[in-house]
Structure 1
Amino acid sequence: MLSLVGAAAALAQPALVARVIDVVGTDEPLLPLVSVLVVVLVGSAVLSAWQQYLLQRTAEGVVLSTRRTLADRLLRLPVVEYDRRRTGDLMSRVGADTTLLRATVTSGIVDLGGSVLVGVGALVAMALVDGWLLLVTVLSVSVGVGTAVAAARRVRVLSRQAQEQVGAMSAAVERALSAVRTIRASGATAREVTLVGDSAQGAYRAGVRVARLQALVSPASSIAVQGAFLAVLGLGGYRVAQGSIEVSQLVAFILYLFLLIQPLGQGIRAYTELQSGLGALARVQEVLDLTPEDDDRPQLGSATTSPRVPVAGDPTPLLELVDVDFGYPDGTGVLHGISFSVPAGTRTALVGPSGAGKSTLLALIEGFYPLSGGEIRWAGTDVRELPQAAVRARVGYVEQEAPVLAGTVRENLLLAAPDTPEDELWRALAEVGLTGIVERSERGLDVLVGDDGVLLSGGERQRLAIARSLLARPALLLLDEPTASLDARNETLLRETLTRAAADRALLVVAHRLSTVLDSDQIVVLDAGRVVGAGTHAELVETNPLYRELARAQLLA
């Protein structure tokens, strides 16, 4: 609306100027006409400022909405998508790509509409003044406009390529920063700087290609404008001398020409910005088109699909795997016909050599990857028929790397159970022997853990992750090498904690250190993605050669 009013005010100015020229030298009062002209000029400036503010505010709103939507989709993607893509490139889409949308709004769509309106109005007014001058103007301008539009069309492709190079550079920086200590210790800093520099060089070259093409737009527009102006001056002066038009009409036509030139330049620039924005939008849309998790699952809250939690002694196992197969998209098979069950209130251990598929099995139970075959059943129901969020709410998972989020100890503990009282937080820390890290700081539970928990030791990170999972009170707790980074004292403390935890929940533990799982109710032995044995420690030592070999290597048989 402001654009329409502003266009009307702009179109009125040349007519008012022509009227002032006609009045000069006559007996008609000049002051009222000049006053109207001043009001129109000031009003047009005020409307323009207001419009620009609204445009900028709207553009920021568009960027905010897009970033929220994009972040929501990124955090809900299937885990397999994170395996396929680089984290830095995904971050670039949230940052750099969405920023280009701001220019699309402020210099694109709205300006393009206003420019067309003013341009059409100026052409109509010029036609009413003199048709021959209009013909010369159109011929002169068409050449420049055609060249500019042809160049702008190519900008979209090059702009997307440039954004992809920026994403690659962001990925290279993220890769280096995430492993900066390893890089320093390996003496590879200079090589990594070179790699990041090469990525930056690629982004530079792509940006230069866009700049080179955009640079064609301005000269083409300038040549068209200057040619039109000179042609109008020459032909207009001749027609004034012949008496075909008045001087005031020529002045008005030239003002309309200037009025046409400004929106013409804005329109070309807006079209170019729009093409750049569409290139960035394509990268954003590529992520938004990916299907998030849970889309095909039953809705949470349905009485027929809410996961049941069996109690200890229930004949239906809490978790059951039936002929589970899994392979990567490239066809590499990982798991083959895995079958075993985890009754409620029991401890089950997964053991076997490295690469047997133990950690992969936990990831499948968490629903991070789709099965290639078979079923995973929760209380007798295929988990694919249950709401994924509801199943995960009943399963705790402590990964082998034990990730800790940047922030405080309190924030990490409250991640899965945000309403937990403070006394329970302290109790959970005591159960895993971790009260020391909060007691030695004046900040208590609000002590910082650093990015990725860098201010904690490996064992402290692992125990913090276990305490975090215990606070969520899961019916099934998945532990991947829970004692890998612990000393003998803390390993004993953690084993006692897990023994108490197993009283009211089931545990499924991946372990290389067999001493931590000797008292398990069931030990499942995996080798090359297959179950090769199951039973207690004593039974397996007698009947299973692979387990006996593992036990002897650790002086346990």
Structure 2
Amino acid sequence: MPTEEKRSGTRTVLRLLAPYRGRLGAAGIVGLASAIVSLIQPMVVGDVVGALTSRTLAAGTLVLLVSLFLGDIVLRVIEMYLLGRCGALLVLDSRRSVVHRLLRAPIKAHRERQRGDLFVGAVADTDLLHGSLMMGMMNIAASLVLVVGGVAFMVFIDPLLTLVTVACLTVAAVGSVFVARQVRKAMAQNREAVGRFGAALQRALIAIGTVKVSRAEDREAELVLTHAADATAADMKAVRLQAAMTPLVNLGIHGSFAVVFTFGAARIASGALDTAGFASYLLYLFYMLTPLITLFTSFAQIQLGVAAGQRVEGLLDLPDERVTPTPDAVAEPVFASSVLEYDSVSFGYAEGKPVLKDVSFAALERGLTAVVGPSGTGKTTLFSLAAGLWRPGQGQIRLGGVDVASVDLETLRGRIGYVEQDAPVLDGTIRENLLYANPDATDAQIRHAVELAHLADWVDGLEDGLETKVGESGAAISGGQRQRIAIARMLLLEPDVLLLDEATSQLDAEAELALRKAVAEVARDRAVVAVAHRLSTVVEADRIVVLDAGRVRAIGDHQSLLAGDDLYRRLVATQLLPEATVLTAGRNS
């Protein structure tokens, strides 16, 4: 398992860095040049020491040494700039890919994951790719060049002294690699716990009103902070491991220096090594000090980046709802009509738990088709399937004779407008929300939709009109206003079929009456299908579909169903009788 995990981490790193081979190569060349310049410096210093001893120092040697120092500085600046730029592009490109994939992933993929975990992956994990992965990888590469080159020169100066030095450093290296692996595991646990913390906090903040009226602040805080404590525990484990790594590295390095000074002094005393050579050797060892520490600590740093990279890659592996066409997919379908038809459709969100069972009916091409039934019978699911948010397990949904599963989703959702049950609006202005489905709509079209949705008086009375901010999730406006904005947004799309999921549930009587008139007007030249809980909507429907336990129980108009279907009569009597009495009286007067 550890070997397979290591291979998986290596593959992740290679895949993430592959698009930047050219830039990394350029940075690597500059880094290699910098390392070579650094490796030459101790030899020149040795020459300077020897020349000073013999009093034969030439000005050219000093100029060369200063030039090497300055050249090294310039090369390091260029290298860090190239690496920093490459790392920033890695983060940007990763975030771009993750955002596109999250927004294009099917609804099922979102339901299977916590929002907070997705958010942490898109924000925090992508950020770690820069500091932990990109910089860690290049630090290791540059440090390896310096260490290997330094060892080579040290071997050239005194092989026996080098053997003793390397033996001391190997102990620190072995321990560091082991600790680095443990750090990686701890940080992976930390990221998972941070994801759970984010999801729990987001859950509480989204429902903050419910939390308060339920007096659940302390309970929610305890739940959220439990995940925070888990994240901290994993983080502290990593901190302890990293803290242990530093003295381990220092022990190896300090021990090496002690041995080098002792053994080197003996070598000088025996005549096997001269003073100039020992000076160069010590400089190489000093020059290796920072690369060695960087090399050991970068292993732990890279483990953070690899763990983050694997989480980012997990997001990028989410399916794309656009690239799962059916075998009979049609590039440019020809719709014979705008009739929406369900043919033997069955569907369940979980295996073995069907929500819809062999549902068959057709909505009118022009007119209002109402879908009614007890709660939990699959009414909203019908609309989600038609809009391509889910796909039927069995059967077909056809628009104008064309299976919607074979239609490009952009095309399908341009022809079917769906006003969801909770009528969500996005943070921004009223205008931005209205234009969300059709950004190219004209001011005249916007005004027409606003009037149809009975928003005109309210919008005209606002100081900023259509530029009024609605707040996060529409917090600055009422539920009824959110609902009408959502309806106007879909009206601007001018779809062939308009799906309204309890579109009048949050409207007062006056607004509902105006909206019913708007729906009736829209239904004159297109199909409108509405999930209805109010009799006022049902009575005016041209066709009514009664669902019960996921099956179509009956189809007809209000009068025929009232006379011939027991469930429909019970729905009218138990839920809608007061309105029925008023409407009947109004129609008879």
2:125 counterpart of 1:125: no
Shift of 1:436: 3.2
Change (3 A) 1:397 1:258: same
Is the Cα–Cα contact under 8 Å of residues 179 and 241 in structure 2 kept in the other structure?
Answer: yes
Shift of 1:63: 0.6
Which residue of 44, 63, 85 maps to 2:113? 85
Deviations, residues 134-185 of structure 1 (Å, cap 9, x unaligned): 1101110000100001111222222111100111111111111111122122
2:526 counterpart of 1:505: yes
2:332 counterpart of 1:306: yes
Shift of 1:424: 1.8
Cα distance in 1 for residues equivalent to 2:367 and 2:521: 11
| RMSD value, Cα | 1.7
What residue is the counterpart of 1:517 in the other structure? 538
User: What secondary structure sits across from 1:99 in the alignment?
Assistant: helix
2:397 counterpart of 1:376: yes
Which residue of 396, 409, 413 maps to 1:392? 413
Cα distance in 1 for residues equivalent to 2:428 and 2:490: 17
What residue is the counterpart of 1:137 in the other structure? 165
Is the Cα–Cα contact under 8 Å of residues 107 and 269 in structure 1 kept in the other structure?
Answer: no
Q: Which amino acid is 1:306 matched to?
A: E
Q: Which amino acid is 1:123 matched to?
A: V
2:448 counterpart of 1:427: yes
Cα distance in 2 for residues equivalent to 1:299 and 1:450: 44
What is the percentage of aligned positions where both structures have the same residue? 39
Is the Cα–Cα contact under 8 Å of residues 87 and 171 in structure 1 kept in the other structure?
Answer: yes
Which residue of 310, 333, 337 maps to 1:282? 310
What residue is the counterpart of 1:352 in the other structure? 373
Which residue of 30, 46, 71 maps to 1:43? 71
What residue is the counterpart of 1:52 in the other structure? 80
**Structure 1: segments with no counterpart, 5+ residues:** 312-316
Cα distance in 2 for residues equivalent to 1:272 and 1:330: 43
Is the Cα–Cα contact under 8 Å of residues 347 and 502 in structure 1 kept in the other structure?
Answer: yes
Is the Cα–Cα contact under 8 Å of residues 309 and 318 in structure 1 kept in the other structure?
Answer: no
Moved more, 341-350 or 482-491: 341-350
User: What secondary structure sits across from 2:514 in the alignment?
Assistant: helix
If the length of structure 1 is used for normalisation, what is the TM-score?
0.96
Is the Cα–Cα contact under 8 Å of residues 386 and 404 in structure 2 kept in the other structure?
Answer: no
Is the Cα–Cα contact under 8 Å of residues 520 and 536 in structure 1 kept in the other structure?
Answer: yes
Moved more, 189-198 or 238-247: 189-198
Richer in helix (by share): 2
Deviations, residues 484-521 of structure 1 (Å, cap 9, x unaligned): 01111111100110011012210110001121121212
Cα distance in 2 for residues equivalent to 1:235 and 1:155: 36
Which residue of 416, 432, 448 maps to 1:411? 432
Shift of 1:106: 4.6
Which residue of 527, 549, 574 maps to 1:528? 549
Is the Cα–Cα contact under 8 Å of residues 335 and 401 in structure 2 kept in the other structure?
Answer: no
**Paired residues, what number?**
550
User: What secondary structure sits across from 1:297 in the alignment?
Assistant: coil
User: What secondary structure sits across from 1:193 in the alignment?
Assistant: helix
Shift of 1:88: 0.9
What residue is the counterpart of 2:21 in the other structure? none
Cα distance in 2 for residues equivalent to 1:426 and 1:388: 28
User: What secondary structure sits across from 1:370 in the alignment?
Assistant: coil
What residue is the counterpart of 1:219 in the other structure? 247
Cα distance in 2 for residues equivalent to 1:407 and 1:92: 23
Q: Which amino acid is 1:220 matched to?
A: L
Q: Which amino acid is 2:568 matched to?
A: Y
Shift of 1:440: 2.6
User: What secondary structure sits across from 1:493 in the alignment?
Assistant: helix
Deviations, residues 171-204 of structure 1 (Å, cap 9, x unaligned): 1111111111221222222222222222211111
Which residue of 488, 494, 515 maps to 1:467? 488
Which residue of 288, 291, 304 maps to 1:260? 288
Deviations, residues 275-322 of structure 1 (Å, cap 9, x unaligned): 11111111111111121102122799x9x54343445xxxxx611111
Cα distance in 2 for residues equivalent to 1:551 and 1:160: 56
User: What secondary structure sits across from 2:323 in the alignment?
Assistant: coil
Is the Cα–Cα contact under 8 Å of residues 310 and 344 in structure 1 kept in the other structure?
Answer: no
Q: Which amino acid is 2:301 matched to?
A: E
Cα distance in 2 for residues equivalent to 1:269 and 1:78: 41
Which residue of 96, 101, 104 maps to 2:132? 104
Is the Cα–Cα contact under 8 Å of residues 388 and 405 in structure 2 kept in the other structure?
Answer: no
If the length of structure 2 is used for normalisation, what is the TM-score?
0.91
Is the Cα–Cα contact under 8 Å of residues 502 and 531 in structure 2 kept in the other structure?
Answer: yes
Runs of at least 4 residues of structure 1 off by over 4 A? Answer: none
Which residue of 544, 550, 553 maps to 2:571? 550
Cα distance in 2 for residues equivalent to 1:384 and 1:310: 16
Shift of 1:49: 2.2
Q: Which amino acid is 1:256 matched to?
A: Y
User: What secondary structure sits across from 1:464 in the alignment?
Assistant: helix
What residue is the counterpart of 1:487 in the other structure? 508
What residue is the counterpart of 1:164 in the other structure? 192
Deviations, residues 75-131 of structure 1 (Å, cap 9, x unaligned): 111101221211111101011111111113453111111111111111110011001
Deviations, residues 413-468 of structure 1 (Å, cap 9, x unaligned): 11011011112212211111112333233322110000000111111110110000
Cα distance in 2 for residues equivalent to 1:56 and 1:305: 44
Deviations, residues 319-339 of structure 1 (Å, cap 9, x unaligned): 111111111224212111100
Q: Which amino acid is 1:286 matched to?
A: G
Cα distance in 2 for residues equivalent to 1:187 and 1:200: 22
Is the Cα–Cα contact under 8 Å of residues 396 and 469 in structure 1 kept in the other structure?
Answer: yes
User: What secondary structure sits across from 1:324 in the alignment?
Assistant: strand
What residue is the counterpart of 1:442 in the other structure? 463
Q: How does 1:322-337 map to 2 (within 5 A)?
A: 322-337=343-358
What residue is the counterpart of 1:2 in the other structure? 30
